[in-house]
């Protein structure tokens, strides 16, 4: 399978980057990146399930004391043995509508 992917990349002329920072730093930026005035970045994941204090939820919950707002939230909303990976099964993206997002971003001037 890996050989097939490598051959496909060579056939279309795509550069294959090694999993290192030094190699990734050599990749060119897409032309629109430097030309854009405003960027839209979406970061969406399992932390969206509790929707409590954003993407840093796991770190804050993990590092906070027993009386923290994170632990209180969890005790009020989830069973005591709940773990962060348990949120993954509830991350269904049921309201995800990429066509609406593209229209919204285009209407906002994104390219």
Q: Give the chain's mean pLDDT.
A: 83
pLDDT of residue 7: 43
pLDDT in tens, 1-13: 444 444 444 445 6
Q: How far apart are CA 71 and CA 61, in angstroms?
A: 6
Domain ranges of the chain: 2-107
User: What mean pLDDT comes out for the span 24-32?
Assistant: 86
**66 compared with 99, residue with greater pLDDT:** 99
């Amino acid at each position: 399978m890996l050989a097939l992917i490598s051959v496909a990349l060579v056939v279309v002329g795509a550069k294959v980057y090694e999993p290192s920072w030094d190699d990734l730093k050599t990749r060119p930026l897409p032309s629109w990146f430097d030309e854009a005035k405003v960027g839209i970045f979406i970061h969406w994941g399992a932390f969206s399930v509790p929707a409590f204090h954003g993407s840093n939820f796991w770190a804050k919950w993990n590092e906070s004391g027993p009386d923290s707002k994170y632990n209180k939230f969890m005790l009020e909303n989830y069973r005591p043995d709940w773990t962060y990976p348990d949120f993954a099964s509830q991350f269904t993206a049921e309201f995800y509508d990429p066509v609406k997002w593209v229209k919204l971003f285009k209407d906002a001037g994104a390219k």
